[in-house]
Amino acid sequence: MNAKFPAISAIFTLLLGLTSPAQAFCRTHGCNPADATEHCQRDREQCITTGPVLYWPSSCVGFSVQAGGSVKYGISASDFGTMVQTALDRWTNAVCFANDATQDSVPSIHVENLGPVACDVVEFNTTGANANVWMFRDDTWPYDGGEDALGLTTVHYDPDTGVIQDVDVEINGAASDPLTSDGSANGADLDSILTHEAGHFLGLSHTLATGATMTAGYQKGDISRRSLEPDDMAGICAAYPSGRVIESVDCAPRRGLAEECGGALPAPDGGSKSGSCSVIANTNSASPSWVACALVLGLAARRRRRRHARR
């Protein structure tokens, strides 16, 4: 893979008893805080300010869900797609209050469900088709030291411009605390998790603002993150203001929608054409690429381990 497309990930952790003062929203920047050589800087709200600000250049973004849904929780791909669409719509339908005589608006971006795909891996193909996939990890959570994470969003972007190229979202169905939809005190609310990860999907990072959907910690049984707080709405409105330059109105992923892993496009006869994909391979040794870094503002109470960048 061309080193021009590194990836950054954000983790939504299960963090018990986290409290913090109200602060401003944070946009996601192209800097890996787990890599000391990148010298990431933070402002007084603890927002990373080094590197380009990440954003979708189009007025529409298409997403897909993995065709298997969640067998463990009995969630079909169709139902999962509806849940993800609802979570993303909360952000794209936020009210952006005008500070002048103009009328209030909504963010200048919307999302479209492109249907289920077979691929269930995190990848970005620089030469072929792609898919922005949401998927469950029901059997095992493949990230050592991040077992308390409830979701992981991996964003591939252009480090020169901050343009988002591809996003994949993994939901931890293998966590010790079950995913729920009824506000059970012993579980993690799936709708809240999806809404939080939807913020990462659209280019927002963790905030210290008390009660905001984009805070890093989660209290079991909490369903308040199903809706956005003023800090969240201010963030999405700043990321996609009504007057921004829109480069495209196309909802399709980069170079078309891939239904199979590796950038394979469906062939007219129902078969597929295979494409090569190296998820985070790097061809420039002078500029090491990295897969993921935990943008976590605290540590889980029952585990004192921090997830670092994975090479």
Quick check: is 278 in a domain?
no
Question: Residue 110 and residue 85: Cα distance in Å, rounded?
Answer: 10
Which of 228, 225, 285 has the alpha carbon at shortest distance from 12?
225
Which of 196, 234, 243 has the alpha carbon at shortest distance from 95?
234
pTM value is 0.82
DSSP single-letter state for residue 103: P
Quick check: is 218 in a domain?
yes
Could you list the pLDDT tens digit for every one of the 311 residues in the chain?
444 555 656 655 444 334 344 458 999 998 888 788 889 999 888 888 999 999 999 999 999 999 999 999 999 999 999 999 999 999 999 999 877 656 788 999 999 999 999 999 999 998 899 999 999 999 999 887 777 788 999 999 898 899 999 999 999 999 888 999 887 888 899 999 999 999 999 999 999 898 999 998 888 888 989 999 999 999 999 999 998 999 999 999 999 999 999 876 554 433 222 211 111 212 222 222 222 322 222 223 222 222 322 22
Non-local (6+) Cβ contacts of 305 within 8 A are 145, 299
Structure confidence at residue 88 (pLDDT): 98
Q: What is the dihedral of CA 97, 200, 257, 243, to 10 degrees?
A: 20
Quick check: is 309 in a domain?
no
> According to DSSP H, which parts of 30-137 are helical?
77-92
> SS in 3 state form for 176-199?
CCCEECCCCCCCEEHHHHHHHHHH
CATH of the domain at 167: 3.40.390.10
Quick check: is 256 in a domain?
yes
* Residue carrying structure tokens 């295979």: 274
Quick check: is 51 in a domain?
yes
* Residue carrying structure tokens 């890996």: 32
Q: What Å distances lie between residue 255 and 66, 72, 131, 171, 263, CA to CA?
A: 19, 33, 10, 26, 9
Quick check: is 283 in a domain?
no
Quick check: is 243 in a domain?
yes
Structure confidence at residue 308 (pLDDT): 28
What are the structure tokens assigned to 113, written together?
């469900």
Quick check: is 100 in a domain?
yes
Number of compact structural domains in the chain: 1
DSSP sequence for 218-248: --TT--GGGS--HHHHHHHHHHS-TTSPP-B
Non-local (6+) Cβ contacts of 269 within 8 A are none
Domain containing residue 181? 7-273
